[in-house]
């Protein structure tokens, strides 16, 4: 078993007038999760993210769902991203880059990731359904946007083809999960080094 310099675990608590979130992650888990966002379809997506990234995620959110799902999903992206970033620490030894093509029945999605400290999102995902289980599907972009910002991921998510909204969304989460699983893994060949010629993966410069 790989020995890590530190436990790659983080806890984030965040309370505003719109959402109250507590999220705990363990990057070296086995995909155990307890997720309660108040949005069962979104829970299903985050469970996929945990299961296939092998990041243990405990997440509880009480959000202003009487308005809509926007604040809840955006703020969860932020809190989860911040937790992952905190757990990564100085990113020593991680593989950093990864990509993955994820087929799901009729659809195919590609997610490419650089755990760079430089937040950027490309989201080329056309969703045929306007809502899914009362969630406006456009809000899923907001989740990926706030996640990539808070986690410091350069993240490119593209659905190449597909017709079923549930499949397209689920393939985005699974493709992210599998890319993330690789990118945050400690590379035994390079475990003492930060994978950057700059010597740091903290920021944009
Ligand atoms: Mn499903």
Q: pLDDT tens digits for 144-179?
A: 999 999 999 999 999 999 999 999 999 999 999 999
Split at pLDDT 50, 70, 90, the class of 46 is very high
How far does residue 5's CA lie from ligand 1's centre (Å)?
A: 36
**pTM of the full structure:** 0.95
Ligand 1 center to residue 204 CA distance, Å? Answer: 36
What's the gap in Å between 138 CA and the centre of ligand 1? Answer: 18
Does a structural domain hold residue 196?
A: no
Domain count, the chain: 1
Per-residue model confidence as pLDDT tens digits over 99-155: 999 999 999 999 999 999 999 999 999 999 999 998 999 999 999 999 999 999 999
Which residue range is the domain that position 152 belongs to? 9-190
Q: Which residues contact 97 (CB under 8 A, 6 or more apart)?
A: 113, 114, 115, 183
The answer to whether position 199 is within a domain reads no
Alpha-carbon gap, residue 145 to 123, rounded angstroms: 9
CATH number of the domain encompassing residue 157: 3.30.230.40
CA of 28 to the centre of ligand 1 (A): 25
In a domain, 65, yes or no: yes
Residue 194 corresponds to which tokens in the numbers above?
């930060």
Q: In whole angstroms, what is the distance from residue 159 CA to residue 167 CA? A: 10
Q: How far does the centroid of ligand 1 lie from the alpha carbon of residue 109, in Å?
A: 15
Q: Report CA(168)–ligand 1 centroid distance (Å).
A: 10
pLDDT at 2 over 60: no
Calculate ∠ Cα 81-87-89, nearest 5°: 110
Q: Are 123 and 144 in contact (CB under 8 A)?
A: yes
């Amino acid at each position: 078993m790989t020995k890590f310099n530190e436990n790659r675990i983080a806890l984030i608590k965040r309370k505003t007038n719109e959402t109250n979130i507590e999220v705990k992650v363990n990057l070296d888990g086995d995909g155990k999760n307890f997720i309660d966002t108040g949005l069962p379809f979104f829970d299903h997506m985050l469970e996929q993210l945990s299961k296939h990234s092998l990041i243990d995620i405990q997440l509880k959110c009480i959000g202003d769902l009487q308005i809509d799902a926007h604040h809840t999903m955006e703020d969860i992206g932020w809190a989860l991203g911040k937790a992952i970033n905190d757990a990564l620490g100085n990113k020593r030894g991680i593989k950093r880059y990864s990509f993955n093509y994820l087929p799901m029945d009729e659809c195919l999605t590609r997610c490419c990731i650089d755990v760079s400290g430089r937040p950027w999102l490309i989201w080329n995902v056309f969703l045929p359904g306007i809502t899914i289980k009362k969630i406006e599907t456009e809000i899923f972009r907001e989740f990926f946007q706030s996640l990539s910002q808070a986690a410091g991921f350069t993240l490119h998510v593209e659905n190449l083809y597909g017709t079923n909204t549930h499949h397209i969304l689920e393939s985005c989460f699974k493709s992210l999960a599998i890319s993330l699983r690789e990118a945050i893994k400690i590379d035994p060949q390079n475990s003492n080094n930060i994978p950057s010629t700059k010597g740091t993966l903290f920021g944009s410069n």
